[in-house]
Amino acid sequence: MKKLVLFIPLVVFLGMGVFLYKGLFLNPQKLDSALEGKPVPAFQLEVLESGEMVTNETLKGKVGLLNVWATWCPSCKYEHPFLMTLARQDILPIYGINYRDERPLAIRELSREGNPYAINIFDHDGRLGLDLGVYGAPESFLIDHKGIVRYRYAGPIDRTVWQETLYPMVQELQAEAAKDGAS
Amino acid sequence: MIPELGHFSLIIGLAFAMLLAIVPLVGVARKDQYLVRYAWPLSYGMFFFIFLSVIALGYSFAVDDFSVAYVAHHSNSELPIFFKIAAVWGGHEGSLLFWVFSLAAWAAAVALFSKGLEEVFTARVLSVLAMILIGFTLFMLLTSSPFERLFPVPMEGRDLNPMLQDVGLIFHPPMLYLGYVGFSVSFAFAIAALMSGRLDSAWARWSRPWTLAAWVFLTGGISLGSWWAYYELGWGGWWFWDPVENASFMPWLIGTALVHSLIVTEKRGAFRNWTVLLSIFAFSLSLLGTFIVRSGVLTSVHSFAADPSRGMFILLLLGLAIGGSLTLFAFRASEMSSPARFELKSKETMLLVCNLLLTVACGTVLLGTLYPLLIDALGMGKISVGPPYFNAVFVPIVLVLFGFMGVGPIIRWKKSKAGELKRQLIVPAVISAVVGLAVPFLADGKFNAWVVFGIAMAVWVTLMTFRAAYNIVKTKDGAIDMTRLGRSELGMIIAHLGIAVSVVGATMVSNYSLEKSVRMGPGISHELAGYTFNYVETKNVVGPNYTAQQGQIEVYQGDDYVTLLRPDRRQYNVRTMDMTEAGIDWGLFRDLYVTMGDPISRTEYAVRINYKPFVRWIWFGSIFMMVGGFFAASDKRYRAKAASKVKKATSKLATA
Amino acid sequence: MIKSLIKKVTAVMILMSVALFANATPVDTYQFKSTDNQKRALELAHSLRCPQCQNQNLIDSNSPVAQDLRLEVYQMVDEGKADNEIIEFMTSRYGEFVLYKPRMEAKTYILWLGPFGLLLFGGLIGFFFIRKQRIAEANNQDLTTEDQQELDRLLKRDGK
């Protein structure tokens, strides 16, 4: 009995070790979105280029990718060529949210580097970003045909992320949409 | 050439460590004194070559050898020379080298200063230290060598992170590492005691000064870090409960418990297993801290660049060192109940209670620090555990602890005389309660339970410590004899008073700080806590590797001129980083602390003014603690005793 | 191999974009309606974590998102919103992660009750240790009956 008591510290430590080991493969910086499963927050903002009004209703009807970007964000520049490729493949519409940016700068950047976005929402004061729980650019949200946020990816999208994570989900969501459309 | 020599020297140091880990133990097993005695030259050799390696890295910094990747990433030719030297421990690889160097230095010190101890025992201690050193040196050589070369050689270095360009960097990390690593000595003593199967009071006696020395360094390291964060980060905070801070605080809590538990084991032969366990815990928590800082499993403001492969290696070391030692403990710990008896009202009980409370406090900090990791690992999402949690659970525990801490020094060993204790307690208890209740009413007229308890406990500890001092120096016929106050008693008194001083500081600054964020520019003045802050002008200042806008703010109290505060905003040339440097007027009873924020208009800035009452007391208290620890560690009387005891022990061994 | 390289590159880039803001101390000159509001707002913002930063609260961080959230907190306090409304606003957007003081719920029971558990455990160890001493002492017959009674009384009191 007494002997067993002496093993308690070892057992406690081993238990802790398991968690520390697991912890090595987790990324404490990667946050789950609180919005997954909830509709895109209501908003009414201008389109970047034209100044026309766009609302959350506009995004409904199709599975889409909502991409938060800005000209001040270096990782967005890294991500941009891949978004261009994606836009050419025409799998799903990419909606941009131009986050806390200056309009002329953003327009110039897109005209120089190409514009992958179907609609570009101009979120100058970051209000939509705040409602979406955005904490830095780039961030991307997969939304289904009902306008519900299904997945959030923080960080630049590249081929690997797209093929391994996002594309399978897109296919699933599009299948769902097709089923709803049929019924 | 020089970096290669450094690298090579490190490998030789490793070779010495490998020999040191094996040869003396073989000697012990074969009862071959000749082999056992190899421990000494091997320790010195190990220290020498690792020291050479540090010198080589320091030299590479001094001559701007940017072909060395570590130098290129952490230095720049414009960097002032003392920062170049301090940059040796400014990044992951170099600080690891310094870690290993500290370990080698402790080993050499043990070899040098333990001539009076039993030879076999010391040899075992040195071997255990060498084993730890092997682990960390391999880690460095295999995953993060500071001597790696870059090709092509960059023309300039990327510069030291401006956050680190401060005197804080020169003193804080070395102190902290010496403290962290110092507990490896207590650990090695405990392991050596377990190996020899002799858990008597002798090893506790030998371990005590080393544990105290490590504790002094750790106390210094933590408080320097707190002071540095206070003036450098510009928030005026002094403790953030950040995982990395907790990583250094947990070994401190356990180290404090250990220092006291060692007393009981040494003087009364009790708590043997407990003391061994605490020795293992203290070092384990140091290792855990190293893991937390360098693996990136927890998000912290202070952590080094995260890398899972490094984390894996440290976890492996952690498993070997802690798992191995706890297994050894489980099999070899003494099953005999201690021969010493004591009653409920005795010094033993008080020390036991304080020990348990310190351990519980540490367990709480550990729980809070690792809990987000636990939840994440179980796939239950991300949560944060921060200051509100720690303040809510940690503070009450230590307040209770202070209650017992007051009684500990005055109560007798074994059994207190009936009535004696009560007589000594009542008056201080009443005074403490009255002062505690009075302070919040004098301060702002509002009742504040935290202040009442904080101040009352500080007063309580102070009064009881003085009472203990009086009990010690008072002779039987009522005269005062100062010679009765040995160094360890003096040390205890100073260190305990230090705790009281720090508690006053922490209580006051946490509850009565004032702050104001205002727009300021030439001619604008604002008032806070009875001081008038008058913004005179903005000066442009050019530093060695930065330019700055410096606000000139005159401070008046009534009509009296107090000081000129000069907060600035610096732009560092190489990393193009903006830094703010606070303007601080320090005082015994308050700090005035001003930071400049962003410019609002061409001449105006957002400025934050802070009034921080008693904030210096936090660090004054830790200076007391360090001085106290130093006195206790250097007690001559006790060293003489140790030597005589050793002779007895060795003669016993010779006959066995 | 290439995949991990890309990951590293992007990680560095994300770090860089954060580092741009990280070091200058934020100072807001927001004018509160009352000093009570100011006190409440600052306390609240101190207990909320910036979702983007390394480990900083909303007050200490200079990142844009912290700045936005901080202002949001200030405004909501000035509008007279209760603390739990503001906390709800934050968690519905950024999740439980932003709370430095986690809520008391199933997954935090161990966190909140753990310290009491530890205290209880420590108390039990101490109690049994001291009781063992007492029994041994009693067997030694060293105590006078008066002492023994005193000891029993104290032990009973502590045990309650």
Position C151 scores a pLDDT of: 54
Judge contact between C89 and C72, C-beta under 8 A.
Answer: yes
Position B338 scores a pLDDT of: 63
Rounded-to-integer distance, Cα C61 and Cα C74, Å: 15
Mutation target among B232, B343, B366 for the C interface, most CBs of C within 10 A:
B343
β-strand partners of A154: A139
Is there a contact between C27 and B383 if contact means CB atoms under 8 Å apart?
Answer: no
With contact defined as 3+ CB pairs under 8 Å, the chains touching C are A, B
Rounded-to-integer distance, Cα A178 and Cα A172, Å: 10
What is the arithmetic mean of pLDDT over B18-23? 96
Judge contact between B460 and B429, C-beta under 8 A.
Answer: yes
Is there a contact between A10 and B326 if contact means CB atoms under 8 Å apart?
Answer: yes
Of C61, C76, C103, at which residue does a domain stop? C103
Say whether both C34 and C70 belong to one domain.
yes
Is there a contact between A136 and C17 if contact means CB atoms under 8 Å apart?
Answer: yes
3-state secondary structure labels for all residues of B283-295? HHHHHHHHHHHHH
* pLDDT at residue B335 is higher than 60: yes
Residue C160 to chain B, least CA–CA distance (Å): 15
Is there a contact between C111 and B519 if contact means CB atoms under 8 Å apart?
Answer: no
Say whether both C17 and C96 belong to one domain.
yes
Say whether both C96 and C142 belong to one domain.
no
- Residues on chain B touching C132 (C-beta within 8 angstroms): 337
Which ipTM value was assigned to this complex?
Answer: 0.84
Say whether both C64 and C127 belong to one domain.
no
Say whether both C117 and C149 belong to one domain.
yes
Encode burial over B453-489: b for 16+ CB neighbours within 10 A, e otherwise: bbbbbbbbbbbbbebbbeebeeeeeeeeeeeeebbbb
Contacts of A83 (CB under 8 A, 6+ apart): A67, A94, A116, A157
Say whether both C94 and C39 belong to one domain.
yes
β-strand partners of B318: none
**Global pTM?**
0.89
The DSSP line for A65-91 is: EEEEE-TT-HHHHHHHHHHHHHHHHTS
CA A58 to chain centre: 18
Rounded-to-integer distance, Cα B523 and Cα B325, Å: 66
- Residues on chain C touching A134 (C-beta within 8 angstroms): 65
Position B458 scores a pLDDT of: 96
* pLDDT at residue B636 is higher than 80: no
Position B336 scores a pLDDT of: 60
Is there a contact between C100 and B384 if contact means CB atoms under 8 Å apart?
Answer: yes
Say whether both C55 and C112 belong to one domain.
no
Residue B246 has which token pair? Answer: 């907790």
C107–chain B Cβ distance below 8 A for any pair? yes
* pLDDT at residue C101 is higher than 50: yes
Between B583 and B309, residue with greater pLDDT: B583
What is the arithmetic mean of pLDDT over B151-156? 86
What is the arithmetic mean of pLDDT over C57-61? 85
Position C21 scores a pLDDT of: 37
- Please state, as a whole number, how many other Cβ atoms lie within 10 Å of the Cβ of residue B523: 10
Helix (H) or strand (E) holding B77: none
Residue A183 to chain C, least CA–CA distance (Å): 33
Residue A62 to chain C, least CA–CA distance (Å): 24
Rounded-to-integer distance, Cα B166 and Cα B175, Å: 15
pLDDT tens-digit series, residues B454-498: 999 999 999 999 999 998 888 888 888 888 888 889 999 999 999
Residue B51 buriedness (CB in 10 A; 0-12 / 13-18 / 19+): middle
What is the arithmetic mean of pLDDT over C92-96? 88
Say whether both C20 and C74 belong to one domain.
yes
* pLDDT at residue C22 is higher than 50: no
Band (B652; pLDDT cuts 50, 70, 90): very low
Architecture of the A35-182 domain: 3-Layer(aba) Sandwich (3.40)
- Residues on chain C touching B233 (C-beta within 8 angstroms): 25, 60
- Residues on chain B touching C125 (C-beta within 8 angstroms): 356
If you measure CA to CA, which chain B residue comes closest to C158?
A: B344
Mutation target among C14, C91, C99, C125 for the A interface, most CBs of A within 10 A:
C14
Position B346 scores a pLDDT of: 86
What is the arithmetic mean of pLDDT over B221-242? 88
Q: In terms of residue numbers, what domain contains C138?
A: 107-159
Instruction: Please give the backbone phi and psi of residue B269, each rounded to the nearest 5 degrees, phi first.
Output: 70, 10
Domain boundaries, chain B: 1-163, 166-333+347-385, 514-616
Q: Give chain C's domain count.
A: 2
Residue B306 has which token pair? Answer: 């995260």
Query: Across the interface, which of B371, B384, B519 has its CB nearest the CB of C49?
Result: B384
Helix (H) or strand (E) holding B429: helix B420-443
Say whether both C114 and C53 belong to one domain.
no
What is the arithmetic mean of pLDDT over C137-157? 54
Band (A2; pLDDT cuts 50, 70, 90): low
